[in-house]
Amino acid sequence: MPDWIGRLVSIAAIAGAGALLTGFVAGAPFAALFLFVFLVAAVAISLRSRARLARWLASPSVDDMPDDDGIWGEIYARLHRMLREQSASRASLSHALWRFRQAGEAMPDGVLVLDAADRIEWMNPSAEEHFGLTFKRDRGRAVTNLIRHPAFVGYLEAQRYSEPLTLRGPAEADRVLSVQLVPYGQHEKLLLSRDVTRWEMLESMRRDFIANVSHELRTPLTVLRGFLETLSDAREADEKLYRRSLELMSGQAERMQRLVEDLLMLARLEDSRYPLKEEPVDVPALVHSVLAEAEGLNQGQHRLDSRIEPVRLLASREELRSALSNLVTNAIRYTPAGGDILVTWGLEGGEATLRVRDNGEGISPEHIPRLTERFYRVDRSRSRSSGGTGLGLAIVKHVLQRHQARLDIESAPGRGSTFSCVFPAVRVVPGPGRAVEAEPGRAA
């Protein structure tokens, strides 16, 4: 029996005994007996109400609230109102927490919640992916035992969180993360992570691009300046020297012009504000024109053949010409004299394919994924001596992207190379025709 019930019974017994004794002394035993019964009944009712309240408090429920009259009824009503408000507040907090977790799980950035001892309290799926963690397995573990990167441990201990930290490969070797700690509450922290791999790659490409452009322009400018100084210092007119100097300076000026033109072309292709001027293009006529121009560079060193179907394409004539010209020019430059170059155009499985194939030296597999990068060269010295700008395949890639097409490259050392531009069927302009094949040794 609880202490308060025992005390209440004792008080009732003492009060009853006192009432009986007083009644007998005063000569009113019946009044004393009535008073005693009344006190006992009052105590019993109070004990019953208190017992019901105690049972209800053991497992309070709005639906099982006791009902009584008088002061106990008012107490139960107030408790009912308080419990209902508490339930509503709990439901509101639970919904807010649910919405917070839903928002956190939907975030593309990683979120780790750390307690005062840097133990993990919660994390979203992005954080699991970024750091190679699992919430069910790693909850409650110290974050420094899971992310052992020395730079991260030092960042956490230094407690200078105003600047983010760049981490490379905490879960994957080729992934770059930007992480930042945000203190809150009582020494708790949020660890935010963002995948910046693409931006790091773009920044690296930007640095390489600036360095390569500077290098490509420095060489012809140095040649021009050197010959100008030589001619300025010459005391007597030397026609042979003048003629040779002018030829070399003209060649370097043309090289700079080609580089600037290719850079401008790339800038236009990458500019989303530069619209694609589409029209039905007579691709066979375009191939004939490009191959005729290529003969000037070829000078009979290679055998140029073509097999062309009379298929038209919805495309930009200027951009398509630029892509084909770069592919044919590359084939001529990187195929030894006496080699064969074949250009084909036609339908393959509903798609239109423009293919340039040579039997040159070929390309090692490790270089193929990077061939379309700006200024990427398999053999830097040979590429520059051949007169290329290093931007041709980058232009081809961007032209094809603007036409929803793709570039497939097949090559192996000693087996030549094949560059295939594959256009989707929706760009093929319907029309009948028959295949046209060029005579051996000349363009169709």
Reduced to 3 states (helix: H, G, I; strand: E, B; else coil), residue 422 is: strand
Which DSSP state fits 118? S
| pLDDT on residue 35 | 63
Averaged pLDDT, 17-35: 63
**Identity of the highest mean pLDDT range in 29-43, 58-72, 184-198:** 184-198
The verdict on 319 and 406 lying in the same domain is yes
| pLDDT on residue 353 | 95
Domain boundary among 270, 295, 330: 270
- Report yes or no on 211 lying in a domain: yes
- Report yes or no on 444 lying in a domain: no
- 172: domain CATH number? 3.30.450.20
The verdict on 38 and 93 lying in the same domain is yes
Per cent of the chain over pLDDT 90 is: 19
- Report yes or no on 178 lying in a domain: yes
| pLDDT on residue 171 | 65
Residues in a beta bridge with 342: 305, 357
- Report yes or no on 334 lying in a domain: yes
The verdict on 81 and 116 lying in the same domain is no
| pLDDT on residue 26 | 64
Under the banding of pLDDT at 50, 70 and 90, the label for residue 440 is: very low
CA 262, chain centre distance (Å): 29
End-to-end CA gap in the chain: 111
Residues ≥6 apart with Cβ < 8 Å to 29: 20, 23
Structure confidence by residue, pLDDT tens digits, 384-417: 555 567 788 989 999 999 999 999 999 988 889 9
Domain boundary among 168, 195, 222: 195
**Strands of 436-437's sheet in order across:** 406-411, 417-423, 351-358, 340-348, 303-308, 436-437
- Report yes or no on 442 lying in a domain: no
The verdict on 181 and 207 lying in the same domain is no
| pLDDT on residue 309 | 93
- Distance separating alpha carbons of residues 326 and 344, to the nearest angstrom: 15
The verdict on 37 and 66 lying in the same domain is yes
- Distance separating alpha carbons of residues 330 and 289, to the nearest angstrom: 17
The verdict on 112 and 253 lying in the same domain is no
pTM over 0.85: no
| pLDDT on residue 37 | 65
The verdict on 379 and 284 lying in the same domain is yes
- Distance separating alpha carbons of residues 421 and 350, to the nearest angstrom: 14
- Distance separating alpha carbons of residues 89 and 17, to the nearest angstrom: 50
- Check pLDDT > 70 for residue 441: no
Of 97 and 327, the one with more pLDDT: 327
Domain boundary among 270, 299, 320: 270
**Identity of the highest mean pLDDT range in 66-70, 93-97, 202-206, 257-261:** 257-261
- Check pLDDT > 70 for residue 442: no
- Report yes or no on 65 lying in a domain: yes
By C-alpha distance, which of 332, 303, 302, 313 is closest to 392? 332
The verdict on 45 and 118 lying in the same domain is no
The verdict on 283 and 217 lying in the same domain is no
Do the beta carbons of residue 352 and residue 362 sit within 8 Å?
no
- Report yes or no on 259 lying in a domain: yes
Of 158 and 283, the one with more pLDDT: 283
Q: How do the residues of the chain divide into helix, strand and coil, expressed in percent and rounded to 5?
A: 55, 20, 25
The verdict on 26 and 132 lying in the same domain is no
Range of the structural domain that residue 181 is part of: 108-195
362-365's contacts with Cβ under 8 Å and 24+ in sequence apart are 362/411, 362/412, 362/413, 362/414, 362/415, 362/416, 362/417, 363/409, 363/411, 363/412, 363/413, 363/417, 364/413, 365/412
Of 46 and 115, the one with more pLDDT: 115
| pLDDT on residue 200 | 79
The verdict on 41 and 160 lying in the same domain is no
Residues in a beta bridge with 122: 113
**Residue 232 tokens, joined:** 């300025």
Residues in a beta bridge with 341: 304, 358
- Report yes or no on 8 lying in a domain: yes
How far, in Å, are 316, 360, 423 from residue 432 at the CA level? Answer: 22, 35, 18
- 316: domain CATH number? 3.30.565.10
- 225: domain CATH number? 1.10.287.130
The verdict on 425 and 399 lying in the same domain is yes
| pLDDT on residue 313 | 95
Which DSSP state fits 63? G
By C-alpha distance, which of 345, 330, 267 is closest to 297? 330
How many structural domains compose the chain? 4
- Check pLDDT > 90 for residue 314: yes
- Half-sphere exposure in the Cβ direction for 296 (13 Å, CA): 5
